[in-house]
Amino acid sequence: MKKLLFFMTMFPVFIFGQWTENFDSGTTLPTGWAVINGGGSNGWDIRVPNIGTAQSGTNVAGIKYNSTAHDDYLITKAINVQAGISDRFSFYIKSGYTFALENYEVLLSTTDQTQAAFSTVIQATSKASGTWTQKTISLSAYVGQTVYVAIHATDTDQFYLFADNFVVDTPPTTAPACTTFTLPANGATGVNADGILNWNLVSEATGYKIKVGTATGGTDIVNNTDAGNVNTYNIPGSLSPQTTYYATVIPYNAIGDAVGCSEISFTTLAAPANDNCSGAIALTVGGNFAANDIIGTNVGGITDGTTTCQSNRADNVWYSVVVPASGSVTVETKAVTGSGFIDSVLSAYTGNCGALVDLACDDDNGDGNYSKIALTGQTPGSTIYFSVWRYSLGTGVDGEFQISAYDSSLLATSEVSAAKNDIKAYPNPFTDVLSISDISKVKSVSVLDAAGRLVKTIDNPSSVLHLEDLKQGVYLVTLHLKDGSKQTIKAIKK
């Protein structure tokens, strides 16, 4: 049954002229506002957005997924429409994800905040963009009246819809002032090649024009493109590495453009050595992930090539692997603590850099959001190229990651080497403790599970290793010797 969550008949009517509301005073509905929950259990509330950031401040009005169709109203406080004072209404709106755009409409009531009163459609049903977008509506037809405006969510089986920064004012009578960039800073170096510009919003502006060039005053990259009423712009494509660019943002409104706006310059980051296939870094195949893992980075990388499993990817870098005698190899990526790179996409190719052929692709087959490709039946001695991409939706940024190539059949080689060494581990299989025959040669011990995940590290070990906390299974016990060499022993816990 539909229910009105806030009964305005219980309170006096609040009359307002100009006002702004960005919901940052708390997580409860502001005074005079109302919500009608006519759909499922998840209606409008005030929250810190769980996807992205607020358009202004920290909080937004939001509504989340419901398998039942939304029929939910976010209703403003009363608007006393006065000519030249409060005859314009605007707000920002966005869907949580670009692949799940939410339907909504904007309705108006001239009487009260009950559902039946919202009979006037001032914006027909449309889908909210995946980025913050300002909507501006004239209230000049209602001068002398008190009105209420409702954002009516109507979608089914989508995800999130957010609204923020509601403003009641009047159209400007003068051109806006210039704005200032917040990112990148003027003269900045090492700027990422994704080409994202950010600036402060100007209250009198209804939009912003963008100019970007490779020389001062230039427009060869972006020529007076109208970005709309937003405070961010992603320069199309990828910028060239280690190149200086010049950018200007010009606010405008119905009266005209801002005059005399300053230009900034910034220089992009140098590309990593393996930004292209021809510079692919060779990975050494080990017996497990930890044997020969390295730290990679895609900072400064430029998106190139293709991948068949995921279109939402960016800023890839390249690696190569020579297939071992077994014809099998696994390449896997993992997280680096503190890195903003939190989600990888991995592609494998045969052929050569001038004529690559898709072999395999993976998005989330590794740990968490990281990728892993396991190949069998490949030609020993042939080269396979791997490209690591950053998944481009969500909050991740370019940064460091771990990558390794391994083949578990190579563990047999380690076992042969261990047999030639006089250090023994016993009993094997073991129950809770594993004894080392000559601990005086050992600096530290690392224990990995069969998948190559580090599960235990022991510095300055005694001759008896206490491993009762491990589950039953096969483990690789690596002895890091004081002479700098390693000895790996496969041990089985009963």
Largest CA distance in the chain: 96
The kind and range of the H/E element at 417 are: helix 411-420
Three-class SS state of 431: coil
The kind and range of the H/E element at 5 are: none
- pLDDT value of residue 257: 96
- pLDDT value of residue 6: 41
Q: Are strands 72-75 and 79-80 parallel, antiparallel or unpaired?
A: unpaired
Task: Give Cα separations from 194 to 72, 275, 298, 312, 315 (angstroms).
Answer: 37, 14, 12, 14, 8
DSSP 377: S
For residues 331 and 372, is the Cβ–Cβ distance under 8 A? yes
Give the whole-angstrom CA distance, residue 374 versus residue 372. 7
Give the whole-angstrom CA distance, residue 66 versus residue 51. 17
The upper half-sphere exposure of residue 45, i.e. CA atoms within 13 Å in the direction of its Cβ, equals 11
Can you read off the two tokens belonging to residue 469? 């906390």
For residues 61 and 163, is the Cβ–Cβ distance under 8 A? yes
* φ, ψ of residue 111 in degrees (nearest 5): -125, -65
Burial grade of 39 (CB within 10 A; 0-12, 13-18, 19 or more) = buried
* pTM, rounded to two decimals: 0.56
Q: What share of the chain is helix, strand, coil (3-state, %, to 5)?
A: 5, 45, 50
Give the whole-angstrom CA distance, residue 298 versus residue 308. 20
- pLDDT value of residue 16: 55
- pLDDT value of residue 411: 62
Q: Which residues make Cβ contacts (< 8 Å) with residue 419, sequence separation at least 6?
A: none
Residue type, 375: L
Can you read off the two tokens belonging to residue 325? 């005698």
Cα-Cα-Cα-Cα dihedral of 11, 12, 15, 20, to 10°?
Answer: -30
Residue type, 261: C
Rg (CA), the chain: 30
Render 151-203 in DSSP notation, one character per residue: EEE--SS---EEEEEEEEE---SSPPPP--EEESPTTEEEE-TT-EEEE---T
Over the stretch 399-411, which tens digit does the pLDDT of each residue have? 899 999 999 877 6
List the pLDDT tens digit at each of the 494 positions of the chain. Answer: 333 444 343 334 444 579 999 999 999 999 999 999 987 788 899 999 988 889 889 999 999 887 788 899 999 999 999 999 999 999 999 999 888 899 999 999 999 999 999 999 999 999 999 989 989 999 999 999 999 999 999 988 778 999 999 999 999 899 999 999 999 999 999 888 778 999 998 988 989 999 999 999 999 999 999 998 888 998 987 788 889 999 999 999 989 999 999 999 999 988 899 999 999 999 999 999 998 999 999 988 888 877 778 888 888 999 999 999 899 999 999 999 888 899 999 999 999 998 999 999 999 899 989 999 999 999 999 999 999 999 987 667 888 999 999 998 776 444 434 444 568 888 888 888 899 988 888 889 988 876 667 888 898 899 899 898 888 887 888 888 887 778 888 888 88
Other Cβ atoms less than 10 A from the Cβ of 457: the count is 12
Three-class SS state of 116: helix
Q: Which residues make Cβ contacts (< 8 Å) with residue 160, sequence separation at least 6?
A: 49, 50, 51, 62, 63, 64, 65, 95, 96, 97, 100, 102
Other Cβ atoms less than 10 A from the Cβ of 299: the count is 21
Instruction: Note the helical H segments in 192-280.
Output: none
